[in-house]
């Protein structure tokens, strides 16, 4: 523990800190250069929203991986495994299995049916204005939940990168002030990426980020395994000992499904919460707006399928690496040192990188160099994902709400793109403010909430629209608003927001909903609302459904 604290202090001094800041600035400069280059290729609305549909299946697979392997995956999951062992790996499994739902149910059909946003599919056989308004509201809500996770991760990361721990300062800023400043910086950068580069710039940043992240995690995984002579049993045993929890660290029940002696009610809630989390993780991906719009960037449905297969391969390999990162951090860094730097465990992976640098490359400079490289990769991860999220939500505001609701389809492409750029500023500002209050929450946990909201509001409407002939405008609006409002309200009245030491507002208590993830109630409720809204309405258009079915299956008429 003492050695780690000394190493952290060393990384904040002289040459070490200069090295970390230099790499950090080079990364930002490189991604900005890509964005400016892409801006010169962005001439039409199709270029801005869908990258001109010019990306191959492999390129889009890499970009999807870059979009999906977020701060939650790299920072949050590694932190949860390092602190809770077996239970932390549940996120890796859930995030990966979710791709099968996206591949089998929505990827190809969505690519064939729409143009730029999720709402294009929903509105195809329904009244445009109510459906597109609902879809825009849902897209923005889900994106902001997801943005919180990325920006909270960025704040924790840069505090570590600059060697700022509780009780220390940098340029007159304490750790909390530095995190807030970082959140504002990330918000500003994401606005630049989207407003300048559009989908082309964002996609290339995501591709670069995916390559960097896979390279960085592969290096760390090999170093962790080399430290234990590629003996997984020795690694797991050492992690269990260092965690202070013994064999329980390698078994389920440390964080989820915890059995509380003498309290059957709380035990029941804990087990239901675990089930709720699993449902949200598995169903959430197929409803995430920033993932769904990626299917429009490829020229054909075959390329859409291929891009998902590439994404599954890349993401699956990455999640195997998170095992080595999480258990390696538990064994080599220790839970005490991780919690001392960040209460939610979001800095476990960068702290592990620093430890590996000291052990393998010698001295404080080796540790600082390794920390700087991995922290820069993690920051690239955050920038790429927030750019994708901001693009999804600003595109929906401009294309769905402004062009098709306010202007009733009469807006020019130039007006539409300008509104998308203005929207990026507004969404960025809202995300910055909310992220400042969410700094005590683990980023993987925050993303699980976004998954629950997406699966509750978007997924029922998408699946009903693609597969239910009777589905209509009323059903779509009820499904989206019903699922969305139930998920958001349950989160608001849960321990996530108030009533617990780790809540967003720990000094207040208005919680009455006992679960941390609302998925088990809000997702079925979203499907129920969609069914109820449909059957109480007389609107019915079988011809339009037949046209959508042919289009979704064959690609005929797709733009």
The string of pLDDT tens digits covering residues 286-326 is 888 878 777 777 777 777 778 888 888 898 899 889 989 99
CA angle 108, 110, 116 (to 5 degrees): 130
The string of pLDDT tens digits covering residues 412-458 is 777 877 888 888 888 888 888 888 877 766 677 778 888 898 999 89
What pLDDT does residue 114 have? Answer: 59
What pLDDT does residue 42 have? Answer: 65
* DSSP SS3 for 407: coil
What pLDDT does residue 533 have? Answer: 94
b/e burial code for range 123-145 (CB count within 10 A of at least 16 → b)? bbbbebbbbbbbbbbbbbbbbbb
| % of the chain beyond a pLDDT of 70 | 89
pLDDT greater than 50 at residue 227: yes
What pLDDT does residue 329 have? Answer: 93
pLDDT greater than 60 at residue 75: yes
pTM score, whole prediction: 0.80
pLDDT greater than 50 at residue 350: yes
Instruction: Give helix 348-361 / helix 198-227 axis angle, nearest 10°.
Output: 50
What pLDDT does residue 6 have? Answer: 40
* Residue found under tokens 């002939």: 469
Q: Which secondary structure element, helix H or strand E, spans residue 170, and what is its range?
A: strand 169-170
* Residue found under tokens 């994401």: 190
What is the pLDDT averaged over residues 519-532?
95
What pLDDT does residue 532 have? Answer: 95
What pLDDT does residue 321 have? Answer: 92
Neighbours of 339 (CB within 10 A): 16
- Among 61-70, 230-239, 240-249, top mean pLDDT goes to 230-239
- Name the DSSP letter for residue 505: B
What pLDDT does residue 340 have? Answer: 85
> Per mean pLDDT, which range of 140-149, 192-201, 339-348, 392-401 is the poorest?
192-201
What pLDDT does residue 399 have? Answer: 79
What pLDDT does residue 556 have? Answer: 64
DSSP 6-31: HHHHHHTSHHHHHHHHHHHHHHHHHH
pLDDT class of 48 with cuts at 50, 70, 90: low
What is the pLDDT averaged over residues 79-96?
87
Whole-Å CA distances, 193 to 138, 240, 375, 382, 422? 23, 42, 20, 12, 13
| % of the chain beyond a pLDDT of 90 | 15
What is the pLDDT averaged over residues 332-351?
86
């Amino acid at each position: 523990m003492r050695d780690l604290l000394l190493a952290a202090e060393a990384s904040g001094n002289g040459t070490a800190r200069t090295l970390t800041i230099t790499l950090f600035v080079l990364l930002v400069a490189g991604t900005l250069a890509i964005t400016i280059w892409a801006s010169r290729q962005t001439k039409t609305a199709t270029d801005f929203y869908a990258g001109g549909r010019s990306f191959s299946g492999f390129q889009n697979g890499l970009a999807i991986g870059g979009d999906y392997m977020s701060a939650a995956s790299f920072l949050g999951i590694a932190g949860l495994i390092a602190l809770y062992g077996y239970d932390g790996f549940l996120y890796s499994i859930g995030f990966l299995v979710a791709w099968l739902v996206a591949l089998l149910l929505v990827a190809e059909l969505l690519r064939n049916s729409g143009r730029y946003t999720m709402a294009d599919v929903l509105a195809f056989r329904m009244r445009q204005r109510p459906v597109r308004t609902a879809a825009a509201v849902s897209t923005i809500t889900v994106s902001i939940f997801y943005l919180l996770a990325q920006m909270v991760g960025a704040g924790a990361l840069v505090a570590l990168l600059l060697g700022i721990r509780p009780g220390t300062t940098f340029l007159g800023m304490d750790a909390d002030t530095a995190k807030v400043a970082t959140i504002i910086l990330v918000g500003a950068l994401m606005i630049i990426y989207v407003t300048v580069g559009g989908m082309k710039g964002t996609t290339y940043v995501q591709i670069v980020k995916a390559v960097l992240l896979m390279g960085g995690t592969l290096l760390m995984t090999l170093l962790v395994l080399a430290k234990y002579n590629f003996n997984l049993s020795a690694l797991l045993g050492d992690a269990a000992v260092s965690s202070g929890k013994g064999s329980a660290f390698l078994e389920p029940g440390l964080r989820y499904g915890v059995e509380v002696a003498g309290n059957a009610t709380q035990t029941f809630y804990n087990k239901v919460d675990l089930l709720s989390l699993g449902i949200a993780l598995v169903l959430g991906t197929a409803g995430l707006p920033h993932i769904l719009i990626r299917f429009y960037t490829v020229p054909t449905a075959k390329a859409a399928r291929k891009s998902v297969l590439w994404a599954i391969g890349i993401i699956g390999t990455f999640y195997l690496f998170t095992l080595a990162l999480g258990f390696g951090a538990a064994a080599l860094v220790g839970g005490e040192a991780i919690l001392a730097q960040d209460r939610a465990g979001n800095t476990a992976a960068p702290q592990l990188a620093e430890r590996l640098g000291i052990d393998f490359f010698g001295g404080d400079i080796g540790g600082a160099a390794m920390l700087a490289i991995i922290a820069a990769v993690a920051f690239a991860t955050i920038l790429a994902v927030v750019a994708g999220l901001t693009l999804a939500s600003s595109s929906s505001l401009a294309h769905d709400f402004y062009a098709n609701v306010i202007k009733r389809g009469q807006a020019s492409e130039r007006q539409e793109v300008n509104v998308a750029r203005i929207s990026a500023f507004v969404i960025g500002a809202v995300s910055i403010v909310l992220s400042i209050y969410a700094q005590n929450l683990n980023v993987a946990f925050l993303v699980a909430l976004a998954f629950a909201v997406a699966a509750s509001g978007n997924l029922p409407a998408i699946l009903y629209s693609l597969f239910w002939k009777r589905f209509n405008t009323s059903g779509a609006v009820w499904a989206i608003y019903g699922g969305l409002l139930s998920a958001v309200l349950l989160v608001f009245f849960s321990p996530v927001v108030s009533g617990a030491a780790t809540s967003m507002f720990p000094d207040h208590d208005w919680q009455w909903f006992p679960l941390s993830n609302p998925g088990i109630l809000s997702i079925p409720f979203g499907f129920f609302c969609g069914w109820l809204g449909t059957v109480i309405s007389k609107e019915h258009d079988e011809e339009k459904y037949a046209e959508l079915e042919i289009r979704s299956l064959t690609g005929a008429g797709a733009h």
